[in-house]
C-alpha cells in the first residue's frame, strides 16, 4: 500500500475534520495519525475519545478541533460508551427514528486507555461483537500527565516512573501485545499502523470502519516529548520502528495474519534506539537482548503469516 | 450565494458549485462512484442521479456535474430517483459482480441480484483513472478507445500507453473496482490493466539496497522540475 508516494497525496481529501490550531507538541505523531484517520473516517462517524493526549490537546474549553460529533469519555469506559451509542443507533433505527445518514461509531484512546485502564471495557465490547472501530494511538506511556510508564512502554525505556539509573534499566517489562489480545477475541479485523506510512494507515482505518463487527487498529504514534527525540525526526523514527521490526505492520482479517511490509532484511535495532533519549542509557548487552527478542518476535509473526 | 431547495430544505450554495457540493454541505448524502473531489466531474456512472424541477418541468440528471441555479428544486430521494440509481448500480454490478465497492453500493440502495446477464468485465468505464492520469499526474497515458464513431466496431475500453506511462500507480489507487493493480516484486513493478501488463524497472537505493521507485517516474520528475539526478540515488529513508 505504501507505493503510493508522489501523485496519490493529491487525491486524498482536502477536508480536515480534525482542525488545525490544536495544542499538540511540535512533531506530535499522534496528532498526525488522528488527522489522517479523520480523513479516512469521513463525515458520518460518531467518536468517543478516552482521556489522554488527544482529548487534552483538541478540546480545551471554549475551543474544539473536532468537526465531527465527538464525545469525551473517561479513561476506562471508551469502548463501553461506544457500545452504548452503537446499540442506541440500532434501536432508534429499528423504531424508525434513526439518523438520516448511516453513521458508524469510532472509539479512540491512547495506550493507557487501551492496554491498561480501558482494557476490560474493550474486551467486553469485542466479546459482545458491537459494530464499531477502536483506534489505539500508542505513544508508549502516559504522556500528557508527564511520561509515566504504561504496559505499552517498551523494555528499557526510561520514564518518570521507571527511571533509568544505577540499579534500574528503565521499563523492566516487555511491551504488552494488545493486537494479539484483540485477535484472541476473534475480532474480524485487527491491524497495526503508523502515520509514517500514511496511505497504509488510511487504508486500514477505512477497512476497519467498513468491517461488520468490531475492528481494532493499533497505531504507533511517535512522541518527541516523551521519547526524548528531535521533533523533526518524528516521521523517520516511525519508519525506523517498522524497518527494524520492533513495530511490524500487519493486518489480521478473520484470524488470518498478513504482513503489510515484509523486509528481506531488518535494520539493526540500534538505528531505532539511538535516535531516542529514553534509550540512551542502554548498555550494548541490553541492546543485544532487545535485538534478540525483536528478531524472535518478528520471525514468529512471519511464521504465523506464512501459515495463514 | 445561490438559493435552491434540496429535499424541501432551503440551501445556500456557492456560485459555480454543483448540486452534489450543495447537498454535501447541507448534510444531504448522495451516493457517488465516479465522482472525486480532486477531479473534474464526468457524470459517467449515473449513481448520483437526482430529480430537478425548473419551471415545473421535472427531469433526471447527475448531481456531480449539474451546476446550481437559483430557485432550483432538487429531490434526492423520490421514487423516480431511487429507481434510476438502482438501475444504474444494477447494470454496473452485472458488469463487475465481485467488486466490493459496487456490492456495498448495491446493499445501500437495496439492489439484490442483478436481473441482467452477469458478464465479468475488467472495467466499468468510470473514467477515474483517465482523469487522474490527465489532471493529477499530467501524463495522459490512459485514454479511451472506441468512442464516438468507432463505438459500433469495438468494445469501449481504457488503454494504457507504455510509451507515456511512468508507472506511478495513481490509477491503481483511484480505481474503485480493483481493475488496475500494482505489484512490486524484486526490481520490477508490474501494472496490470484491462489492456494488458506494463512492466517498469525499479531504482535501487545506493545505501540500503531497497528498490523504491520506478526509474521512469524519477526521470520524469527530474526532467519536469529540473532536479539533480543525485537527489534520487538514495531512498527517502536513507536521505539526510
Domain ranges of chain A: 11-307
Distance CA B122, CA A172 (A): 55
Q: How many CB atoms lie within 10 A of CB B193?
A: 23
Residues across chain B: 240
Same domain, yes or no: B143 and B99:
no
pLDDT at B81: 96
Which pLDDT value is given to residue B153? 43
Which of A118-132, A260-274, B209-223 has maximum average pLDDT?
A118-132
CB–CB contact B37 A14 (8 Å): yes
Contact A44 B29 (CB under 8 A): yes
Residues B14 and B73 in one domain: yes
**Measured between CA atoms, how close is B151 to chain A, in angstroms?**
31
Residue with cell 466479546: A127
Lowest mean pLDDT among A137-151, A247-261, B133-147: B133-147
| Cα A132-A134-A139 angle, rounded to 5 deg | 170
Residue B123 lies in a domain: no
Q: How much is the pLDDT for B195?
A: 82
- Residue A10, helix vs strand vs coil: helix
Query: Do residues A78 and A126 lie in contact, with contact meaning Cβ atoms separated by under 8 Å?
Result: no
Same domain? B147 vs B189: yes
* CB contact B9 to A (< 8 Å): no
* Averaged confidence pLDDT in chain A: 94
Are B7 and B81 contained in the same domain? yes
A210, closest residue in chain B (CA to CA):
B104
Domain count, chain B: 2
Q: Based on the domain organization, do B10 and B102 belong to the same domain?
A: yes
Collect all residues of chain B within an 8 Å Cβ-Cβ radius of residue A14.
Answer: 37-38
Q: Touching check for A232 and chain B: CB below 8 Å?
A: no
Q: Is A13's CB within 8 Å of B184's CB?
A: no
Residues B86 and B12 in one domain: yes
Range of the domain at B228: 128-232
Of B109, B143, B165, the residue at which a domain comes to its end is B109
Considering the four listed CATH numbers 3.20.20.70, 3.40.50.970, 1.10.150.20, 3.10.450.50, the one that applies to the domain covering A11-307 is: 3.40.50.970
B27–A102 C-beta distance less than 8 A: no
Helices A29-41 and A234-243 cross at an angle (nearest 10°) of: 80
For chain A, what percent of residues have pLDDT higher than 70?
98
> Are residues B98 and B140 both part of a single domain?
no
In a domain, B115, yes or no: no
Residue B120 domain-assigned (yes or no) = no
Nearest to A196 by CA among A238, A232, A224: A238
Of A308 and B158, more confident: A308
Q: What residues 249-278 of chain A have any CB closer than 8 A to a CB of chain B?
A: 267
Q: Look at residues B109, B140, B170 and tell me which one is the last residue of a structural domain.
A: B109
One domain for residues B81 and B41: yes
pLDDT of residue A117: 96
pLDDT number for residue A156: 96
pLDDT in tens, A220-230: 999 999 999 99
Q: Which residues in chain B are contacts of A7 at CB distance < 8 A?
A: 132, 136-137, 168, 170
Please tell me which of the candidates A7, A236, A267 has its beta carbon nearest to residue B170.
Answer: A7
Contact B169 A8 (CB under 8 A): yes
* The pLDDT of residue B149: 53
What is the residue-level pLDDT of chain B in tens, covering all 240 positions?
899 999 999 999 999 999 999 998 888 999 999 999 999 999 999 999 999 998 778 999 999 999 999 989 999 999 999 999 999 999 999 999 999 899 999 999 999 888 888 888 888 889 999 999 999 998 888 887 765 555 444 456 677 788 889 998 899 999 999 999 999 888 999 999 888 889 999 999 888 888 888 999 999 999 999 999 888 888 887 776
The answer to whether B13 and B25 are in contact (CB under 8 A) is yes
The pLDDT of residue A151 is above 90: yes
Instruction: Pick the residue from chain A with its C-alpha nearest to B132.
Output: A11
3-state secondary structure of A220: strand
Report the alpha-carbon distance of residue A137 to residue A114 in Å, rounded.
9
Cα four-point dihedral sign A222, A69, A91, A78: positive
Residues B170, A44: C-beta atoms closer than 8 Å = no
Interface test with A, best of B237, B238, B239, B240 (most A CBs within 10 A): B237
pLDDT at B152: 45
B51 and B97 share a domain?
A: yes
Distance between CA atoms of B5 and B12, rounded to whole angstroms? 9
Q: In what helix (H) or strand (E) does residue A243 lie, and over which residues does it extend?
A: helix A234-243
pTM here?
Answer: 0.90
Of B108, B169, B237, the CB nearest to A239: B237
Whether B161 maps to a domain, the answer reads yes
Q: Which of B109, B142, B165 is the last residue of a domain?
A: B109
CB spacing of A11 vs B136 below 8 angstroms: yes
**Beta strand residue intervals within chain A, DSSP E:** 45-49, 70-72, 104-110, 132-138, 189-193, 215-220, 250-253, 256-259
Asked if B165 and B77 sit in the same domain, the reply is: no
Closest to A36 in 3D by CA, of A175, A260, A198? A198
The closest alpha carbon to B233, from B216, B220, B218, B221, belongs to B218
- Residue B46 contacts residue B124 (beta carbons within 8 Å): no
ipTM exceeds 0.90: no
With an 8 Å Cβ cutoff, are B168 and A13 in contact? Answer: no
CB atoms within 10 A of CB B110: 10
Same-domain check for residues B144 and B102: no
Interface of A with B in 179-218 (CB under 8 A): 199, 210
CATH at residue B72: 3.10.20.740
Residues of A in contact with B208 (CB under 8 A): 267
Residue in B with minimal Cα distance to A233: B240
**B116 domain residue, yes or no:** no
Query: Is B167 in the same domain as B75?
Result: no
- In angstroms, the CA A137 to CA A109 distance is 6
Contact B37 A13 (CB under 8 A): yes
| pLDDT 10s digits, A20-76 | 999 999 999 999 999 999 999 999 999 999 999 999 999 988 999 999 999 999 999
Which has the closest alpha carbon to B114: B127, B102, B101, B100?
A: B102
Amino acid at each position: 500500500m505504501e507505493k503510493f508516494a508522489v501523485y496519490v497525496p493529491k487525491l486524498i481529501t482536502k477536508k480536515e475534520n480534525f482542525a488545525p490550531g490544536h495544542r499538540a507538541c511540535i512533531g506530535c505523531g499522534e496528532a498526525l495519525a488522528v488527522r489522517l484517520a479523520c480523513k479516512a473516517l469521513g463525515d458520518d462517524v460518531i467518536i468517543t475519545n478516552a482521556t489522554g493526549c488527544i482529548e487534552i490537546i483538541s478540546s480545551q474549553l471554549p475551543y474544539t478541533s473536532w468537526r465531527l460529533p465527538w464525545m469525551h469519555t473517561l479513561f476506562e469506559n471508551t469502548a463501553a460508551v461506544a457500545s452504548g451509542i452503537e446499540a442506541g443507533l440500532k434501536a432508534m433505527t429499528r423504531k424508525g427514528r434513526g439518523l438520516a445518514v448511516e453513521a458508524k461509531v469510532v472509539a479512540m484512546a491512547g495506550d493507557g486507555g487501551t492496554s491498561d485502564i480501558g482494557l476490560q471495557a474493550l474486551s467486553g465490547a469485542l466479546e459482545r461483537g458491537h459494530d464499531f472501530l477502536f483506534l489505539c494511538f500508542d505513544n508508549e506511556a502516559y504522556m500528557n500527565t508527564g511520561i509515566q510508564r504504561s504496559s505499552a512502554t517498551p523494555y528499557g525505556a526510561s520514564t518518570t516512573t521507571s527511571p533509568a539509573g544505577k540499579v534500574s534499566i528503565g521499563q523492566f517489562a516487555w511491551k504488552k501485545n494488545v493486537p494479539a489480545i484483540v485477535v484472541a477475541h476473534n475480532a474480524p479485523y485487527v491491524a497495526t499502523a503508523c502515520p509514517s506510512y500514511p496511505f497504509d494507515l488510511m487504508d486500514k482505518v477505512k477497512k476497519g470502519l467498513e468491517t461488520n463487527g468490531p475492528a481494532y487498529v493499533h497505531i504507533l504514534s511517535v512522541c518527541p516529548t516523551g521519547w526524548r527525540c528531535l521533533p523533526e525526526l518524528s516521521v523517520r523514527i516511525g519508519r525506523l520502528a517498522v524497518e527494524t521490526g520492533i513495530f511490524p505492520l500487519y493486518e489480521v482479517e478473520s484470524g488470518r495474519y498478513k504482513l503489510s511490509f515484509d523486509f528481506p532484511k531488518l535494520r539493526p535495532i540500534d538505528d531505532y534506539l539511538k535516535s531516542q533519549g529514553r534509550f540512551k542509557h542502554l548498555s550494548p548487552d541490553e541492546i543485544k537482548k532487545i535485538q534478540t527478542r525483536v528478531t524472535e518476535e518478528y520471525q514468529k509473526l512471519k511464521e504465523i503469516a506464512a501459515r495463514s | 450565494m445561490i438559493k435552491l431547495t434540496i429535499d424541501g430544505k432551503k440551501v445556500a450554495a456557492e456560485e459555480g458549485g454543483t448540486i452534489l457540493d450543495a447537498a454535501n454541505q447541507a448534510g444531504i448524502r448522495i451516493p457517488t462512484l465516479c465522482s472525486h473531489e480532486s477531479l473534474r466531474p464526468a457524470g459517467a456512472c449515473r449513481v448520483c442521479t437526482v430529480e430537478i424541477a425548473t419551471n415545473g418541468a421535472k427531469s433526471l440528471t447527475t448531481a456531480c456535474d449539474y451546476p446550481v441555479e437559483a430557485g432550483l428544486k432538487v429531490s434526492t430521494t423520490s421514487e423516480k430517483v431511487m429507481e434510476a440509481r438502482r438501475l444504474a448500480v444494477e447494470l454496473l454490478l452485472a458488469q463487475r459482480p465481485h467488486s466490493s465497492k459496487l456490492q456495498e453500493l448495491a446493499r445501500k440502495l437495496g439492489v439484490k441480484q442483478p436481473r441482467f446477464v452477469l458478464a465479468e468485465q475488467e472495467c466499468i468505464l468510470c473514467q477515474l483513472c483517465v482523469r487522474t492520469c490527465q489532471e493529477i499526474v499530467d501524463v495522459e497515458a490512459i485514454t479511451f478507445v472506441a468512442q464516438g464513431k468507432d463505438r459500433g466496431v469495438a468494445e469501449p475500453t481504457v488503454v494504457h500507453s507504455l510509451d507515456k506511462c511512468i508507472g506511478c500507480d495513481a490509477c491503481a489507487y483511484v480505481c474503485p473496482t480493483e481493475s488496475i493493480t500494482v505489484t512490486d516484486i524484486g526490481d520490477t513493478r508490474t501494472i496490470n490493466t484491462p489492456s494488458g501488463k506494463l512492466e517498469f524497472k525499479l531504482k535501487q537505493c545506493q545505501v540500503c539496497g531497497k528498490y523504491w521507485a520506478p526509474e521512469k517516474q524519477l526521470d520524469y520528475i527530474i526532467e519536469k522540475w529540473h532536479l539533480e539526478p543525485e537527489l534520487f540515488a538514495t531512498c527517502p529513508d536513507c536521505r539526510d
